[in-house]
Amino acid sequence: MFKKSLVSFFAAALCSAASMSASAEALKVAIVAPSASNDLAFTQSIVDGVNALKEEFEIEMAITDGTFIVDDAAAAIRDYAKQGFDVVLAHGSQYGGSLKEIAPDFPDTAFAWGTSADTFGLPNVSAYEAMSNEGGYVMGVMAGKMTKSGVIGVVGPIEVGDAKLYVDGFVEGAKAANGDATVNVNYIGSFGDVALAAEAGRSHIANGADVMTGTAQMVVGAIGAARSKDVAWFGTQANQTKLGKKVVVASQVYKWEVILRDIFNDAKNGVLGGKLHKVDLANGGLTIEFNDKYSLDAGARKAGEEAMAAIMDGSLKLSH
Amino acid sequence: MTDVFTTTIVVATIASGIRLATPFLLAALGEAIGQRSGVLNLGVDGVMLLGAFAAYFVVLDTENVWLGVVAGITIGICMGVLYAVITVFLHAEQGVSGIGIYLFGLGMSDLLFQKLVGTPLPIDQFSEWSVPYLSDVPVIGVMLFQHSPMVYIAFLLVPVVAFILNRTTFGLNVRAVGESPESADSLGVSVRRVRFCTIIAGNALAGLAGAALAIELGIFQQNLTNAMGFIAIALVYFGAWRAPGVMAGALVFGMVGAIVLQAKTLGLIPRSASDIAAMAPAIITILALVVVANRFRQPAALTKPYFRGD
Amino acid sequence: MTHSDSQQVDSALPASSIETSLEKAPMLEMCGITKRFPGVLANDNVSFDVRAGEVHTLLGENGAGKSTLMKILYGLYQPDEGELRLHGKPLRLRSPLDAISHRIGMIHQHFMLVPTLTVAENVALGLPSQRGPLTDLKRVSRRVNELSDLYGLQVDPAAFVWQLAVGERQRVEIIKALYRDVQLLVLDEPTAVLTPQEVDDFFTILHEMKRDGRGLIFISHKLQEVMDLSDRVTVLRHGRVEATTTPAQTTRNDLAALMVGRQLDSATRGNRASLTSETPEVFSVNGLRVAGDRGVDALKSIDLQVHAGEILGIAGVSGNGQRELAEAVTGLRPILAGDVLVDGSAITGMTPKKIREAGLSFVPEERMRDGAIGDFSVADNMVLHNHTESQFSSAGFLDFAAIKTHCSKLVQDFNVKTPDLDTPTKNLSGGNIQKLIMARELASNPRVLIAAQPTRGVDIGAAEYIHQRLLEQRDSGTAIMVISEDLDEVMALADRIAVICEGEIMGVLDAGNATREQIGLMMAGVSDAANSQRA
C-alpha cells in the first residue's frame, strides 16, 4: 500500500506537470478514497461523478485510492494541496479529523469531504452527504412487497454514517410496506471481511430470508451468498447488477456529479467552501437503477415508484 | 424466542462455523508444517491473497473451479520457492522476510487485479457436494456432509498431515530439524532439504486456502483475506503445532464467529454491542491461546536460521 | 538417499578378532591436514591415525584445533590441504552423510539428541526405514533393546529424551553409534557431565567397543582419564601436533606441559587459617527453596554456611540446582522460602543492586550472557555495575578519565590481555573475559564472592591464574562459594565441600580428608550418612 501511494504520487506529479502545459483554465481535481476506484461501490461512485463532468469542465483528475489507512490518506491530501490542486475531495467520513488539520494550511485550496454534514466552520471546506435513506426506503418498500417468507436480511459493516442511514431507511420502508415482515439486521463489525459478510448472508438465508440487501465494500461476499442460493438482492452505492445478474433487483446509485457541479463552479468563482451539499432523489443525485433481467413483480415495483414520487414531492417525510 | 433454538438454526450455525473455519484450517495446517521444521512464515496472508487472485483470474477465464484450485496451489509453490531461497539458502531473518512476502502479496494481488480484471465480476462458485448416504442422516447430514469440496479436503488433510508428521521418516526429519537442526545434520539429515520441502508444502496450502476462499466467495477484491493469514498463524500456536490442535483452533474461531453472526441476525445481541461482539472470535482465541500456550513449547529452532558448524 | 549400510545396521555385530595388535596398519589416517579460517590457522599440517581396537586420545587446550580436525573427519569441514585415508584408500567426506556411510560416528560434547523425540526416534533419525516412507520404530526398538543387553546400556526405547538424565542421554548417543555399527567413533569430552562412578561404567563400555575392533578417538583434557583410558595420546597446540606418545612413556605433568607449552605449578589450597568458633560466619543460606524453570523445585530447603577466609566448594553433576542456587542468592531468581544472610542480615528478595551493596559479588556461569556485554568495550564492562557511583560520574555524566585510570589499573592487576580498553569485549579470549569479570567483581574487595564455574572453557594458563586469585582473595578474608561441575577444581580449591544432588545438599565434607569416591557417591544421590554407614 505504501508502494501504491508512491505510484499515485508520481502519477499525480506527472498529471500536474502535464496540466502546466495544458490550458491554464483546467480545473485540477484530486480524489483520495479508501477502497479501489472500480469497487462497484463507494469509491467508484465519486470517480464516476467527476468523470461525468468532464464534458462540462476541463478537468485534470488525480486519484489516490485504497487508502484505508487514514495516515496514508492524510499524506495524500496534503500532497495534492501542496501541488496546487484546485479541489481536493477527501472521500471518506474517516478522513474528517485529518482534513480539519490540513485545510487551514492551504487557504487557497477548496476541500470537500463526505459523507458528512460538518464543514468545521472553515471557509475552504465543504461537506457532502447522500440521503441514502431515501433510496433505502424505496427499495425497502419493494422488498416488503416481494417477500414470500416474510423474512428480509440486511448485512451492514459498522453502524455509522452512510451505512446506518441506508439501512435505517431500508428497514423503515420494509416495515411500512409489510408490517408483518421480520427484518433481520446484521452489522458484521468490519468493512473488509468478505468471508464474514458471506456467512452473514447465509445466516439470513438459513433464517428464512428471501430478500436481502447490504452496504459497504465487503457485501460482495453477501451477494455471492445470495447468488448461490438464488435470493433477491438490493444494491446501493453503485449499480451492482454485474455482481449478480439473476438476483440483483435494483440498485441505488449515487450521482455525485449533481453536487460536484456546484462545488466546481463555486471553486472557479472563488468560493472555496463553507457549504453543505446533499444528493437526494429530488435533485437527481440519487437514482434507482433497475436490473432489466430481473422479473420484478409489477405490484412491488409500483409500490416502490409511488414511494419514490412521495419522497420527491415532499409528501412523505422519512424519520431522518 | 422459541424458534431461536430450533434444530435448523443450530445445524445452520454449526455448518456456518465449519465453512468459516475452512480457509483458516488450510492456511494454518501449512503454517504448522513449516513451523514444525523451524520456519516461521509471516507471509501466509500475502500468499493467500496471491492464491486467491490466481484462482479468481483462472476461474473467470476458464469457468473451471478446479483449474482455479490448481492455479492457487501453483502460485503458492512459487512463493514457497522464493521464501525458501530467502530464508533457507540466504539465511535471512524470518520475521522480516515474512512481512516482506505479505506486503508483496497484498500489493501484487491488488495490482494484478486492477490491471488484469478491473471491475470485479462474479465467478463460478463451488457447488455443494453431498456425501452419499452420510448426507441423508438427519441433523448430522446437513451439518457435516453437505459442503463444498474444499471443506472436505481441508478436514481430510488434518489426519493426513498428522500421519505424515508422526508416522513417516520425512515427518521424523521435520520434527528433528525443527527441534534440533544440528542433531539432524549430524545424522546426515539435510536441514536445507527438509525445510525447503516444508516451506513449499506450507505455501502450497496457503495458496490453496486463498483459492478456496476466492472460489467459495465467487469474487475477488483488494485485501480479500482481511488478515486471515495472521489469524492462521495464531491458530498454529493455539494448536500447539499439532494438526488436530490446529483444527480445534480453527473450529473454535469459526464456531464463535458463526454463533455471533447468528445471534446478531436473530437480534439476540443488541445493535449497540454489535462491534464488540464482532471481536469475540479473536478475543476467545487469544484467551484460549493464553491457557493452552503455556502447556506446550514451541519448536526450539523456530525462526532460527541453521548454519552448519556453529 | 541411498544407504548402502542399511543391511549391515540390522545384522549382528561383526565377529571381528578379540585381540588386536597395535602394530597393525591404521584404520584411519589423516595426513598433513591444514585448515585455515580468516585470520586463523586452525590445523597446520596435522597427521593423525587410528588403528582398529585402540583408543587414541586427542589432547589440547581450547582453540588448539581438536574440534576443527574432528569436524573434518565428520565431513562438516573440508581440509584446505592434506588427505584422509580409510583402510589405506583415499577418502573424501563432503557431509556427515558421507562420514556415516563410511561408518564413522561422533558423540559431540553437546549431545546431538532431539529432546522432544523418543529414544527410538532419535536412533532411527536419518536412517532409511524398512517400511519405505513410513517409520519402523518397533523394529528399531527391538534392536535398541538387543544392543542394550549386549553392552549393558540400560535405556527405554520409548522414553522421551527430555525425560532422561544426562548419563542416560549419553547411553543413547552410544546406542546411536552402535546401531549404525560404526567402525570409528569420535568421543568429544564425553565425561564432562558424568559422576566419577558413571565414568567408570562408561569406560567399561568403551573397552567392550575396543574389543569389537572399533577404533575410538577420545577428546578430553582431564589428564587422569587420558592416562587411564588411552592406548596412544596425540597432543595438539596452536593447530600443530606437539607429540604422539603412549601413557607408558609419559606422565600427567609432561602431558600438561606439552598442552600449555610450559611447566605448570598447579594451584594448591595452601594453608588456611584454621576455623575456630570465633571465625565469623559471613554468608549463610537457611532453608532455601527455589523453583526451577520447569516449575519443579530446583532447591529443596538447603542450608549452607561460609566463614570469613574460607572457600566452600559446591560439587555436583550439572543440572542439580547449582545454577538456581547462584541465581537465587544473587537476586536473579525468586526465592520461595528461606533466608540468605550476609554478615547476619538478610538479603533475601532484595534486588541484585541492593545485594551488591550488601557486599556480595558474583562471577556468573554464563559469562557472555550474565557476566559481560560482548559489544561493550573492556572499560564499559568493568564499570557496568557501578558507573553511576560518584567516583565515575557526576550529575549523570560519566567521568571518562576516572574510569580509564581505574580500568587500566584493573587490567594490569589482573593480567587481562587486551589491545586497549576500547576493544569490544567479545574479541577477547574466554580466559581474558573471565579475568576481566574477576577483576570487576574483586575490585570492591567484597565480603562474599559467589563464583560459578569460574574456569569452564578457560585455557589452563588462565585457569591457573584465576585459581590463584581466588585463593588470595580467600586469604584476605572474603567468604567464597565456588560452584563447579569440575570435581578436580573443587578439590583443589575448597576448604570444605558441599555436594548437591537433585536440589539437596547430600553432605558437607572437610576437603582435607574427602575422597573422590566418597564425593562421587554423594553426587549420585547417596547421602553422607548412608555413605559412612556403608564404609
Q: What is the mean pLDDT of residues C216-226?
A: 87
Who wins on pLDDT, A161 or C2?
Answer: A161
Same-domain check for residues C47 and C122: no
| pLDDT at res. C529 | 57
Q: Examine the domain organization and report whether C221 and C150 are in the same domain.
A: no
What's the CATH number of domain B2-295, 2.40.360, 3.30.1490, 1.10.3470, 1.10.357? Answer: 1.10.3470
pLDDT, residue C277, reads 60
Helices (H), A110-193: 132-146, 161-177
* DSSP element (H, E) containing C171: helix C166-179
Co-location of C172 and C39 in the same domain: no
Confidence band for C5, pLDDT divided at 50, 70 and 90? very low
C300/C164 same-domain check: no
- CA angle at C380 for the pair C379 and C381, rounded to the nearest 5°: 90
- Contact A36/B19, CB-based, under 8 Å? no
Alpha helices, H only, B187-297: 191-217, 228-238, 243-265, 274-278, 280-293
Task: Quote the CA–CA distance of B302 and B294 in Å, as a whole number.
Answer: 16
Q: How far B164 CA lies from chain C's nearest CA (Å)?
A: 8
pLDDT band of residue B275 (cuts 50, 70, 90) is confident
Measured between CB atoms, does B172 come within 8 Å of chain C?
yes
In eight-state DSSP terms, residue C118 is: B
pLDDT value at residue C530: 56
Residues of B in contact with A153 (CB under 8 A): 265
B221 with A244: Cβ contact below 8 A? no
Indicate the DSSP class of residue A169: H
C464 within a domain of the structure (yes/no)? yes
A132 pLDDT exceeds 60?
Answer: yes
Say how many Å lie between the first and final Cα of chain C, rounded: 57
pLDDT at C265 (0 to 100): 61
pLDDT, greater one: C60 or A128:
A128
A abuts C (3+ Cβ pairs < 8 Å) = no
Kindly tell me if the per-residue pLDDT of C210 is higher than 60: yes
pLDDT at C10: 40
Instruction: Indicate whether A14 pLDDT > 70.
Output: no
Task: Phi first, then psi: give them for residue A145, nearest 5 degrees.
Answer: -75, -35
C-alpha cell at C356: 551488591
Distance CA C34, CA C54 (A): 25
**Confidence (pLDDT) at B255:** 94
Domain for residue C529, yes or no? Answer: yes
Sequence letter at residue A160? V
Helix axis angle, B149-167 to B191-217, nearest 10°: 170
pLDDT at A13: 44
- CB-count burial class (<10 Å; 0-12, 13-18, 19+) for C395: exposed
Among A9-18, A64-73, A127-136, the range with the most confident prediction by mean pLDDT is: A127-136
- Nearest CA to CA, how far is C123 from chain B (Å)? 9
pLDDT of residue B179: 95
Q: In CATH, what number is assigned to the domain containing residue C36?
A: 3.40.50.300
Q: Is residue C297 in some structural domain?
A: yes
Helix (H, G, I), strand (E, B) or coil at B93: coil
> Quick one: DSSP state of residue C422?
T
Which percentage of chain B shows pLDDT scores above 90? 71
Residue of B nearest to A246 (CA): B122
Q: Are A116 and A152 in contact (CB under 8 A)?
A: no
C451 & C361 share domain: yes
Which residue from A119, A147, A102 is spatially nearest to A303, judged by alpha carbons? Answer: A147
Residue A237 sits at φ, ψ, to 5 deg, of 80, -25
C317 shares its domain with C234: no
A223:B222 CB<8 A: no
Say if CB B192 and CB B168 are below 8 A apart: no
Greater model confidence, C18 or B207: B207
- Segment C445-482, tens digit of pLDDT: 999 999 999 988 787 778 888 999 999 999 999 999 99
- Tell me the three cell numbers of residue B142: 446437513
Choose the closest CB to B125 out of A158, A187, A224. A224
Rounded distance, CA C509 to CA C521, Å? 13
Q: What is the CATH number of domain A21-130+256-279?
A: 3.40.50.2300
Q: How much of chain B exceeds pLDDT 70, in percent?
A: 97
Q: Which pLDDT score is estimated for C293?
A: 75
pLDDT mean over C55-71: 88
Please report the pLDDT score of residue A4 as a whole number: 47
Nearest one of B205, B220, B219 to B75, comparing CA atoms? B205
Average pLDDT score over chain A: 89
Q: What is the pLDDT of residues C187-201, one digit of tens each?
A: 988 887 777 788 888
Identify the domain containing residue C165 by its residue range: 113-181
Residue type, position C409, single letter: K
- Per-residue pLDDT, A180: 94
Q: Give the Cα separation of A102 and C277 in Å (integer).
A: 83
Instruction: Scan for cell 574466554, then name that residue.
Output: C430
pLDDT at C260: 78
Compute the Cα dihedral for B251, B253, B257, B260 and give only its sign.
positive
Q: pLDDT (tens digit, 9 = 90+) per residue, B17-51?
A: 999 999 999 999 999 999 999 999 999 999 999 99
The cell for C213 is 575392533
Number of domains in chain C: 3
Of B168, B176, B297, nearest to C125 by CB-CB distance is B176
Beta bridge partners of C382: none
Cβ contacts of A156 within 8 Å, gap of 6 or more: A163, A164, A167, A185, A186, A187, A188, A214, A215, A216
Which residues from A are below 8 Å from B223, CB to CB? Answer: 68, 192
Task: Give residue ranges of C with CB < 8 Å to any B CB.
Answer: 71, 74, 76-77, 95-97, 100-101, 106, 108, 111-117, 121-122, 124-129, 133-135, 176
pLDDT digits (tens, 9 = 90+) for A250-260: 999 999 999 99
Q: Quick one: pLDDT band at residue A24, thresholds 50, 70, 90? A: low
Q: Is residue C432 part of a domain?
A: no
Does B197 lie at the interface with C, CB-CB under 8 angstroms?
A: no
pLDDT at position A8 is: 47
Percent of chain C with pLDDT over 90: 52
Query: What's the pLDDT band for B292 if we cut at 50, 70, 90?
Result: confident
- Per the prediction, chain C carries an average pLDDT of 86
What is the edge-to-edge ordering of all strands in the sheet holding C232-237? Answer: C104-107, C184-188, C215-219, C55-59, C232-237, C240-245
Phi, psi of A288 (to 5 degrees): -105, 120
Which of B167, B184, B189 lies closest to C135 in CB terms?
B167
A292-309 burial: b if 16+ Cβ within 10 Å, else e: eebebeeebbebbeebbe
Any idea which of B76-90, C260-274, C509-523 has the lowest mean pLDDT?
A: C260-274
Evaluate whether A40 touches B119 at the Cβ level (below 8 Å). Answer: yes
The reported pLDDT for the residue numbered B152 is 96
> What is the rounded distance in angstroms from the CA atom of residue B68 to the CA atom of residue B157?
19
The rounded distance, in Å, linking the Cα atoms of C117 and C332 is 32
Domain boundaries of chain A, sorted by first residue: 21-130+256-279, 132-254+284-313
C66 and C191 together in one domain: yes
Which residue matches cell numbers 558507573? C387
Which of C141, C162, C181 terminates a domain? The answer is C181
pLDDT tens for each residue of A77-130: 999 999 999 999 999 888 999 999 999 999 999 999 988 889 999 999 999 999
Task: Quote the CA–CA distance of C44 and C61 in Å, as a whole number.
Answer: 15
pLDDT at residue C382 tops 80: yes
How far does B190 lie from chain C, in Å, by closest CA?
A: 9
Beta-carbon contacts of residue A47 (< 8 Å; ≥ 6 apart)? A31, A33, A37, A38, A63
Domain contains C144? yes
Q: What is the pLDDT of residue C486?
A: 84
Whether A21-130+256-279 shares its CATH topology with A132-254+284-313 is answered yes
pLDDT tens digits, one per residue of B86-114: 999 999 999 999 999 999 999 999 999 98
Residues of B in contact with C77 (CB under 8 A): 309
Q: Could you read off the pLDDT of A247-291 as tens digits, one per residue?
A: 999 999 999 999 999 999 999 999 998 999 999 999 999 999 999
Report yes or no on C210 lying in a domain. Answer: yes
pLDDT bucket at C20, cuts 50 / 70 / 90: very low
Residue type, B55: A
Are C130 and C231 contained in the same domain?
A: no
Class of domain A132-254+284-313: alpha beta
Task: Flag the least confident range among A1-5, A27-31, A32-36, C358-362.
Answer: A1-5
Confidence of residue A18 (pLDDT cuts 50, 70, 90): very low
CA distance C187 to C217: 6
